[in-house]
A and B are shown apart, each in its own frame.
Chain A
Amino acid sequence: MDQGTNSYRAGPDENGRFGLFGGRFVAETLMPLILDLEAAYNEAQNDPAFAAQLEDLQTHYVGRPSPLYFAERLTEHYGGAKIYLKRDELNHTGSHKINNCLGQILLAMRMKKTRIIAETGAGQHGVAVATVAARFGLPCTVFMGATDIERQKPNVFRMKLLGADVRAVTSGAGTLKDAMNEALRDWVTNVHDTFYIIGTVAGPHPYPAMVRDFQSIIGRETKQQMHDREGRLPDSLVACIGGGSNAMGLFHPFLDDPSVRIIGVEAGGHGLDTPEHAASLAGGVPGVLHGNRTYLLQDDDGQITEGHSISAGLDYPGIGPEHAYLRDTGRVEYVSATDKEALEAFQLITRLEGIIPALEPSHALAHVSKIAPDLPADHLLVMNMCGRGDKDVFAVAEHLNVEL
């Protein structure tokens, strides 16, 4: 339990710590900015006008609440647990990322910032940022690894259509970690006018808590919808994890409901017994990167190693600090699914439910396929369908050796 209370939801403390994890490990240039951000966020949280504006946009712009859909044929196929999908892939822009971006851009405008920057891996966060930047008329620069640009072309074009300046990052392996380094370098250079919209529950305090709060609408809706449908709490929750924002959004409102089993699924890449995976909790040790202490994939010298996943959105060598804390306390179970398992799950759900998922939630579904058959028929399982797969069809075709 945390900070002397009987709650898993009490963190972070005033220093931004979730137990050992989190914190504010940033260069001095950025320190005054994140203190300002924290103050502005606290103020906004206490301002009913902020909540009202956000709610209005969530309803009429994003299309919330997203449905909680009973996946009948998937349930029949596994012959076990009753499977529900939280349909955040139906949000405007096609993933859960917009939930957070709207919250942060409203905050940016409260802080009188005039320029937006962001990092992106799969491009889902980048598209969501470019979208809200277009909606509110702010110029926007998105940093994206050169490797990811290559494998996520549809999203790159989408961002450009929305008016974003997409900058290719060639340092390192040219993936999400490197994009985040470059965004931080831009921020440190343009401190006076720039707001950095971080896309996941990582980074220096207050980002992990703030992004979690904006994403928690997923879990709050799920709780209400399940109550309306089944009259009770779900029995288990399953979500995929790169940095961990969709998972934290679903999990957080349920952390203090001990009957709810909570499972996060990391990207197992080519397998945890190979160096080619992105499972920071399973294969990493605590370290400090991008402003927070958390589990990181790294070598004995503390050098960060490159994650690998078929999914660009999960290809990150770290994980949000609150997940690190929830793992160490044992409240949440963390498992992994391989590229191959995710690809199989991707095809299965497409055929059975007529829903083309993103490769990210395909990892969550791969785990559902492992546990659902052995669960009783009255077991209520919710999987977060956090993104749709349009962006992935080219990559999937390539993996399936199909020429388009």
Chain B
Amino acid sequence: MTRLETCFENLRSQDRKAFVAFVTAGDPDLATSAKILDGLPAAGADIIELGMPFTDPMADGPSIQAASQRALAAGQTLVGTLDMVRKFRETNNTTPIVLMGYYNPIYIYGTERFITDAVAAGVDGLIVVDLPPEEDAELCLPAMAGGLNFIRLATPTTDDKRLPEVLNHTSGFVYYVSITGITGSAAPQQQDVAANVARIKRHTQLPVCVGFGIRTPEQAKAMSEISDGAVVGSALVDVITEHLDAQGQAKDTLVDSVLALASSLAEGVHRD
């Protein structure tokens, strides 16, 4: 069983939902980012989505775009991101880590080499925004064969005709994108999301987590009640932005502030 499967099984047996925390690897600098990563499990993150920075994050809003730019300016690379995971695994062997990003850096790294190195580093799954099922041969199939979960995004535009194709090569969990839009957009309507999550669940046994536009513990609770978990990214990244000094350097309060928001979001998701 993979870490992701174990994680969801444990959550199910405790009748709990998953709090999935997103941060960008290397934001705002490599050392601070590593501290945030190390602190997230104790803050209540069940799963960590670690963003692989990219110059052209086409599905992301201004918050995560800026996070990518800060990480790249701080010298982050795909090698560095895998290194962060490797170091995290020295002290944590249970919290699943899913890398999220865009295909080009992986393609340039070399897909086979990337899969091998990601597995060795302790990565559990991948979310690659610009690889729809039509391009499964590129990375999805070799990654699944190599032992990584490939988490697919399903969206409000994914209709019933298309859903089986989208879910066909999905493993770990399904990430339901709650809105048509970019990360950090307006809050989703709970009713619409509930109907779509139910629709997806008619097609798959996999857990379904909901993301995009979730900012507060209340929203996280509401979204996880109608699904198997809530993903929060931009709101955490915004706390990083708020705790930079005039030179763009991390203030002493940054790590604790990010983890404090993570804790309250986790409480929202885990509250009965």
Contact = CB atoms under 8 A, between A and B. Distances in A.
A301 B105 contact: yes
Contacts of A304: 55-56, 104
Interface in A262-320: 285, 287-291, 293, 296, 298, 300-304
A26 B132 contact: yes
Given A24-B134, A28-B152, A189-B182, A301 B78 contact: yes
A140 B8 CA distance: 46
Interface string B170-184: 000000010011100
Contacts of A376: none
Nearest to A183: B58
B142 to A, nearest CB: 16
A189 B181 contact: yes
A32 B158 contact: yes
A181 interface: yes
Interface in A147-197: 171-172, 177, 181, 184-185, 188-192
A288 B103 contact: yes
A23 interface: yes
Contacts of A29: 59, 153, 155-157, 177, 180
Which of B57, B61, B132 has most chain A Cβ within 10 Å?
Answer: B132
Contacts of A184: 58
Given A298-B108, A302-B108, A188 B131 contact: no
A118 to B, nearest CB: 16
Interface string B128-144: 01111111000000000
B180 A189 contact: yes
A39 interface: no
Interface residues of A, number: 37
A181 B55 CA distance: 10
A45 interface: no
Contacts of B131: 25
B166 A28 contact: yes
A316 to B, nearest CB: 12
A151 B266 CA distance: 49
Contacts of A296: 104
A190 B181 CA distance: 7
A217 B255 CA distance: 59
Given A301-B105, A302-B109, A304-B55, A31 B132 contact: yes
Nearest to A31: B132
B149 interface: no
B21 to A, nearest CB: 21
Given A32-B157, A303-B54, A288 B107 contact: yes
Contacts of A233: none
Given A31-B132, A32-B158, A287 B153 contact: no
Interface residues of B, number: 43
B200 interface: no
A52 interface: no
A33 interface: yes
Contacts of A302: 54, 78, 104-109
B154 to A, nearest CB: 7
Contact of A27 (B61, B130, B159): B130
B180 A191 contact: yes
A28 B56 contact: no
B71 to A, nearest CB: 11
B164 to A, nearest CB: 14
A184 B182 CA distance: 10
A288 B104 contact: yes
Contacts of B129: 27
A59 interface: no
Interface in B86-143: 102-109, 129-135
A15 interface: yes
Given A185-B58, A189-B185, A28 B105 contact: no
Best-surrounded residue of A15, A24, A31, A191 (most CB of chain B within 10 A):
A31
A300 B56 CA distance: 15
A389 to B, nearest CB: 31
Nearest to A29: B155
Given A28-B152, A301-B108, A302-B105, A291 B157 contact: no
Given A185-B58, A188-B180, A287-B108, A25 B157 contact: no
B45 interface: no
B65 interface: yes
Nearest to B129: A27
Interface in B34-64: 54-59, 61-62
Contacts of A288: 102-104, 107, 130
Contacts of B157: 28-33, 191
Contacts of B182: 185, 188-189
Contacts of A285: 108
A343 B171 CA distance: 56
Top 4 nearest A-B pairs (CB, nearest first) are A302-B108, A302-B105, A189-B181, A29-B155
Given A27-B130, A29-B59, A188-B59, 6 more contacts: A25-B103, A25-B131, A31-B157, A31-B162, A185-B61, A302-B108
7 contacts: A25-B103, A28-B157, A31-B133, A171-B62, A188-B182, A287-B108, A298-B104
